[in-house]
Amino acid sequence: MIRPAVELAAAARPTSPLTVLVPTCNEAENVAPLLHGLQAALGGLPEARVLFVDDSTDGTDALIRKLAPGLGIEVDVLHRERPSGGLGGAVVAGLASARTPWCVVMDADLQHPPELAPALVAEGERSGAQLVVGSRYRAGHRAGGFTGPVRSLISRLCTRLVRMAFPRTLAGISDPMSGLFAVRRDLWESAELQPEGYKILLELAVRTRPSSVAEVPYSFQPRHSGESKAGYAEGMRFLRHLTRLRMSGTRGRMIAFTLIGASGMVPNLIVTWALVRAGVHYLLAAILANQAAMLWNFVLIDSVLFHHRRSGRGRRRLARFAVLANADLVGRIPLLSLLVREARLGPVWATGATLLAASAARFVITDRALYR
C-alpha cells in the first residue's frame, strides 16, 4: 500500500541540502501562506533554502523580501525584468543559480503541499533516483484541485498524448505534466534545456533521459487565491513544445524529413503530367518538375523542420537548398543507369532505390552542413 503523502512527509527527512524553487507571476496573495507552509516543512533542515524566480508586476517580489526575515529559513528572490520562456524559462533560470545538490520545483499557489518538498528529496536519496515526480495519478492521490471537469479532462488527455509520444522515456512517469518534482543537480546540468511555457518537467525528462525516476503520490489542491495563468495561448504553446521535443532527436528529424521529401512526389508528378501533356519532352519535364518539388520541400523544411536553426537570408538558404536538390538529380542518373544495366533491376525499382539513396544523402548533408 502506498502511504498518503502527508504521512510520508512526516516520516522522511532528507540529509542533502535542497532548494525549493518557486516560479511566481503575480502571486501576492499566496506568498504569505506559502512561506509559512515552507517554514514548517523546512524548519530544522540544515542548508534548506527557498528561491523565488519572479516575473510579477504586482509587487510579489517586494512582499517576499518583506516577509522573509524572521522566518528562520533562507529565502532568495530572483526578479526578472525581462522574462523569457514563461514558467519554464523561470525554472531554468532558477536551476542555473541554485547551489544545492537537489532542487524541488513547486507552484506558489499552494496547489502543491509545501510539506512534500523534503519528502521528494528523501525519496530520491532512498531510491537513488535522479528525478522524483509528485504524481496526481498514483494510488493514494486525489487530483481534486482542477478548476472544473473540463480542465481535469484536458489534463488527462494531454497526459495520454504525451505518454504516447514518448513511451519509453516516460514509462516510469505517470504524471509527466506535473509541476511538482525534485531533481538532482547532475541531471539538470547534463542537458541544454530549451524551455517553452508550462511543461518544464516534460522538457527535463525528454532532454535528459534520467536513468532512474521515482514518484511520490500527492493530492492536487485547489488554488489558494487568484487564477491560473494557463489558457488557450498556453495550450498552443504546449503543442509547439511537444512537436519540437518529438523532433529533437536525429531520428525524429530524419522521419519528418523523409515524410516531407515523400510528399514532394505530389507536386512533382502533377507538374510532370501537366508539362508532358503540354508537349514538353519528358526529360525536360522531369527536370522542371524537380524544381517544383524542391520548392515545396524547401518551404516545409525551412519554415517547420529547421525553423529554429535557420540563419542568414532566405534567398541564400533557398539557393543552397536548390543546388543540393539538383546535385541529387545529376547524381541519380548515373546510379539509375548502373542499377538498370549492371544490377538488372527493373526501371521502377531502380528509380525507387535512387530516390531513397538520394533522400538519405540529402538528410545527412542538410542536418550536418546546411543547418549546423
Residues engaged in binding Mn ion (CB under 5 A) = 109, 111, 228
Query: In angstroms, how far is the first alpha carbon of the chain from the final one?
Result: 51
Do residues 176 and 170 lie in contact, with contact meaning Cβ atoms separated by under 8 Å? yes
Residues 287-301 as b/e (b if ≥16 CB within 10 A, e otherwise) read: eebbbbbbbbbbebb
Q: Residue 229 Cβ, how far from ligand GDD at the closest point, in Å? A: 4
Q: Residue 223 Cβ, how far from Mn ion at the closest point, in Å? A: 5
Question: Among 192, 146, 143, 202, which Cα is nearest to 169's?
Answer: 202
Each residue 165-204 as x (binds ligand GDD by CB under 6 A) or -, in order, gives ------------x-x------------------x------
The site partner of 83 among ligand GDD, Mn ion, none (C-beta below 5 to 8 Å per kind) is ligand GDD
Q: Residue 179 Cβ, how far from Mn ion at the closest point, in Å? A: 7
The site partner of 268 among ligand GDD, Mn ion, none (C-beta below 5 to 8 Å per kind) is none
> Considering only residues 9, 19, 48, 55, which one is a binding residue for ligand GDD as defined by CB under 6 A?
55
Residue 25 or 339: which CB sits closer to ligand GDD?
Answer: 25
Residue 62 or 340: which CB sits closer to ligand GDD?
Answer: 62
Question: Among 76, 69, 67, 101, which Cα is nearest to 22's?
Answer: 76
Q: How far apart are CA 129 and CA 208, in angstroms?
A: 13
Q: Residue 230 Cβ, how far from Mn ion at the closest point, in Å? A: 8
The site partner of 61 among Mn ion, ligand GDD, none (C-beta below 5 to 8 Å per kind) is none
Tell whether residue 94 is a contact of ligand GDD (CB under 6 A): no
> Considering only residues 24, 100, 159, 290, which one is a binding residue for ligand GDD as defined by CB under 6 A?
24
Q: Name the pairing type of β-strands 181-184 and 74-79.
A: unpaired
Question: Among 18, 6, 9, 15, which Cα is nearest to 183's?
Answer: 18
Residue nearest to ligand GDD (CB): 179
Do residues 241 and 199 lie in contact, with contact meaning Cβ atoms separated by under 8 Å? yes
Question: Among 70, 94, 101, which Cα is nearest to 22's?
Answer: 94
Which stretches of the chain bind ligand GDD, using CB under 6 A?
23-25, 27, 53-55, 83, 86-87, 90, 107-109, 111, 155, 177, 179, 198, 228-230
